[in-house]
């Protein structure tokens, strides 16, 4: 599945990429959105910005985007207020939203674009404890189908409003932009195979627990948990894996740890987990 | 009933008995081991044997098919993974016997004492006296004087409460309580040199990034990931205990020393971090892991809290040892 890719700039993304963008200042975020869509413009892609605020404000976020008016007039760039889509009157439906995403991706190709490039600001969902689990389900659902697709996706989260939950939304993505020196990991799902990549320590163990719970919801039956690209995991993080394995086994769902990195091997042995040496 | 078994002195099957048998002839080791094993089998006690080739060949010939009745029958070479891992392996292998709740016997021959780094095993023999005190087994540890440096034999006599005098188990006149023994062989607790670096850590979110940046310029390059993990585990322990950690680093002869200290309630348990983590997922494992990763370590309760020192050999020293 590959290593965790940390983004410094919102550039260099290509079809099949699915990333997250955490931000804590508006001006910096608007520059990132502009750069992201400028790259998509140059590729000739269908651009969709689902942002926080009315459409007029979203257009203003992109005031630095060259040919903005032409892109809007031609329909190549479309703006949607996240409040219009998630108005809080109905629960967030992961399956329906994933279906809508892929419908838009297919429509973009049908309309003659090489692919869809979408940026969605999911802060409101991340900040809502009731909606966050559904958002994670949605992200898993999208992420497992992104590889090889013509779509490019970036999920943005305003750390100031999302609180500590922002890291959980980020960790469903193998590509992440971070604003602090904290450790980062990603949980990727492909069928019944889970890849845990990056770094797990005391700062993000609770996030790992939440993501494993989301994995449990999103899957059925036994799991393979691959750790080939896990660069660091401490005792506390490994204990979280051990508790997950124990609880899954108690429910008749064995978890097999495979492809242990050297870092993972050291701590997993402490808990009797992993492949025989 | 005929009272206490003949080969185990006053041991009645309750608690841990720990004997060193130092021998210098094949006949002597046979005279001690064979009756001990046969008596255990006759009594229906599980008997575990982890021994060198000569002792196992002797048992093969003497016991015949009865070797199949041994609970575990393994060569010593397959049991040495360093002190921490080896004691943990013993501990793990004992779990079924503990669950069965019956007394058992162990014949152990730590032939690895004579291998590079094997001398550290004496510490773990000493730790076993405390950690396994309530376990119902008799551990008969064999030491071939023909193969071992005299200093290694002397160390064994200091860590076993009982020794074989050629006729019976007797109290070892050289025995030292565990804490005293460990303090005598661990690195001396001297004051850090005037020139040393320190790093204060208070933020759990950025603790590892802060530490990694600081360690990158000070670490032992070939051991960088082990140093980071070991120091980090102790930093997080300190953060949990006291909300703040201080890491100090200096060089002491062949070693780079990292000291992790905190201002928490403190403890001065000499065997902490030597004892294998118990089964179950809740108990702490960080100190055990840190001490197992380091080449040497020691711990003190201080007036201010707790301090742990981890020592890693200089790369240059390691290179010289490998070349030599």
Distances (CA, A) of A247 to A125, A168, A172, A190, A258: 28, 21, 22, 21, 18
Parent domain of B95: 6-184
Question: In A, which residues are within 8 Å of B207 by CB distance?
Answer: 201-203
pLDDT at res. B317: 58
Kindly state whether A267 is in contact with chain B, defined as any CB-CB distance less than 8 angstroms.
yes
| pLDDT of res. A277 | 42
Does A234 fall in a domain? yes
Average pLDDT over residues B265-271: 83
A221 interfacial to chain B (CB closer than 8 Å): no
CA A187, CA A4: separation in Å to the nearest integer?
Answer: 10
Question: How many Å apart are CA B276 and CA B124, to the nearest integer?
Answer: 10
Quick one: B164 and B265 in the same domain?
no
Number of domains in chain B: 2
CATH code (residue B130): 3.40.50.300
Q: Is the pLDDT of residue B321 over 80?
A: no
Q: What is the CATH number of the domain that holds B319?
A: 3.30.565.10
Q: Provide the domain count of chain A.
A: 2
End-to-end CA distance of chain B: 59
Pair A176, A208 in one domain: no
Whole-angstrom distance, CA of residue A11 vs CA of residue A32? 8
Q: Within an 8 Å CB–CB cutoff, is residue A250 touching chain B? A: no
- Per CB-CB distance under 8 Å, the chain B contacts of A232 are 208, 225, 228-229
Domain co-membership, B285 together with B223: yes
Both tokens assigned to A75: 């329909």
> How many CB atoms neighbour CB A77 within 10 A?
25
Domain termination residue (choose one: A159, A180, A201): A180
Residue B221 has pLDDT above 90, yes or no: no
Query: What was the ipTM of the complex prediction?
Result: 0.84
- Asked if B20 reaches chain A (Cβ–Cβ under 8 Å), the answer is no
User: If you measure CA to CA, which chain B residue comes closest to A199?
Assistant: B208
**A235 chain-B contacts, CB cut-off 8 A:** 233, 284-286, 289
Predicted pLDDT at B50: 96
Average pLDDT over every residue of B183-203: 93
Instruction: Confirm or reject contact between A246 and chain B (CB < 8 A).
Output: yes
Going along A145-208, which residue ranges are E strands?
Answer: 152-158, 175-177, 185-190, 193-200
Q: Are residues A188 and A262 in the same domain?
A: yes
CB pairs under 8 A between A and B: 61
Per-residue pLDDT in tens (0 to 9) along chain A, 277 residues: 678 999 999 999 999 999 999 999 999 999 999 999 999 999 999 999 999 999 999 999 999 999 999 999 999 999 999 988 877 778 888 888 899 999 999 999 999 999 999 999 999 999 998 889 999 999 988 888 888 899 999 999 999 999 888 889 999 999 999 887 778 999 999 889 999 999 999 999 999 999 999 999 989 999 999 999 999 999 999 999 999 999 999 999 999 999 999 889 889 988 888 765 4
Q: Are B137 and B106 in contact (CB under 8 A)?
A: yes
Task: Confirm whether B189 is domain-assigned.
Answer: no
Question: Are A116 and A153 part of one and the same domain?
Answer: yes
Give every strand in the sheet of B137-144, ordered side by side.
B72-75, B47-51, B104-108, B137-144, B17-23, B162-164, B169-171
Per-residue pLDDT tens over the stretch B278-317:
877 777 799 999 999 999 999 998 788 899 999 998 876 5
- The pLDDT of residue B324 is 52
């Amino acid at each position: 599945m590959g290593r965790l890719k940390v983004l410094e700039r919102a550039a260099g993304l290509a079809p099949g990429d699915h990333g997250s963008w955490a931000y804590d200042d508006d001006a910096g975020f608007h520059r990132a959105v502009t750069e992201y869509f400028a790259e998509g413009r140059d590729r000739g892609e269908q651009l969709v910005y689902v942002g926080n605020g009315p459409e007029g404000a979203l257009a203003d976020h992109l005031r630095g985007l060259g040919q903005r008016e032409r892109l809007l007039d031609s329909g190549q760039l479309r703006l949607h207020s996240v409040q219009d889509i998630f108005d809080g009157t109905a629960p967030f439906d992961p399956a329906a939203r994933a279906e809508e995403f892929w419908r838009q991706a297919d429509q973009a190709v049908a309309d003659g674009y090489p692919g869809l490039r979408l940026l969605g600001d999911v802060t409101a969902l991340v900040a809502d404890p009731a909606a966050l689990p559904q958002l994670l389900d949605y992200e898993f659902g999208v992420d497992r189908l992104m590889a090889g697709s013509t779509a490019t996706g970036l999920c943005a989260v305003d750390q100031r409003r999302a609180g500590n939950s922002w890291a959980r939304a980020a960790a469903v993505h193998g590509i992440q932009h971070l604003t602090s020196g904290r450790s980062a990991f990603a949980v990727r799902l492909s069928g019944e195979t889970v890849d845990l990549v990056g770094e797990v320590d005391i700062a993000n163990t609770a996030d790992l627990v939440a993501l494993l719970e989301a994995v449990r919801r999103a899957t059925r039956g036994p799991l393979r948990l691959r750790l080939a690209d896990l660069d660091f995991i401490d005792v506390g993080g490994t204990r979280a894996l051990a508790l997950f394995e124990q609880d899954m086994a108690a429910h008749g769902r064995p978890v097999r740890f495979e492809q242990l990195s050297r870092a993972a091997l050291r701590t997993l042995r402490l808990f009797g987990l992993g492949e025989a040496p | 009933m005929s009272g206490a078994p003949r080969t185990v002195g006053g041991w009645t099957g309750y608690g841990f008995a720990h004997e060193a048998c130092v021998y210098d002839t094949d006949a002597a080791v046979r005279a001690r081991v064979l009756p001990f094993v046969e008596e255990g089998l006759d009594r229906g006690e599980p008997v575990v044997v982890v021994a060198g080739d000569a002792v196992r060949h002797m048992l093969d010939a003497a016991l015949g098919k009865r070797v199949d009745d041994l609970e575990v029958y393994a060569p010593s070479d397959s049991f040495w993974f360093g002190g921490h891992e080896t004691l943990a392996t013993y501990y793990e292998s004992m779990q079924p016997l503990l669950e069965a709740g019956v007394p058992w016997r162990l014949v152990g021959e730590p032939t690895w004492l004579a291998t590079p780094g094997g001398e550290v095993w004496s510490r773990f023999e000493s730790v076993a006296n405390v950690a396994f005190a309530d376990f119902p087994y008799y551990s008969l540890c064999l030491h071939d004087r023909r193969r071992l440096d005299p200093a290694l034999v002397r160390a064994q006599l200091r860590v076993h409460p009982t020794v074989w005098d050629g006729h019976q188990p007797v109290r070892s006149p050289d025995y030292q309580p565990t804490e005293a023994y460990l303090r005598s062989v661990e690195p001396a607790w001297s004051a850090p040199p005037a020139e040393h670096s320190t790093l204060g850590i208070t933020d759990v979110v950025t603790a590892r990034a802060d530490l990694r940046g600081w360690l990158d310029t000070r670490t032992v390059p070939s051991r960088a990931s082990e140093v980071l993990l070991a120091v980090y585990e102790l930093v997080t322990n300190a953060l949990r205990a006291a909300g703040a950690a201080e890491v100090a680093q200096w060089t002491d002869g062949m070693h780079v020393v990292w000291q992790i200290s905190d201002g928490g309630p403190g403890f001065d348990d000499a065997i902490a971090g030597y004892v294998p983590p118990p089964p179950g997922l809740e108990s702490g494992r960080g100190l055990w892991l840190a001490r197992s990763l380091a080449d040497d370590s020691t711990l003190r309760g201080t007036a201010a809290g707790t301090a742990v020192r981890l020592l890693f050999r200089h790369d240059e020293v390691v290179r010289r040892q490998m070349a030599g």
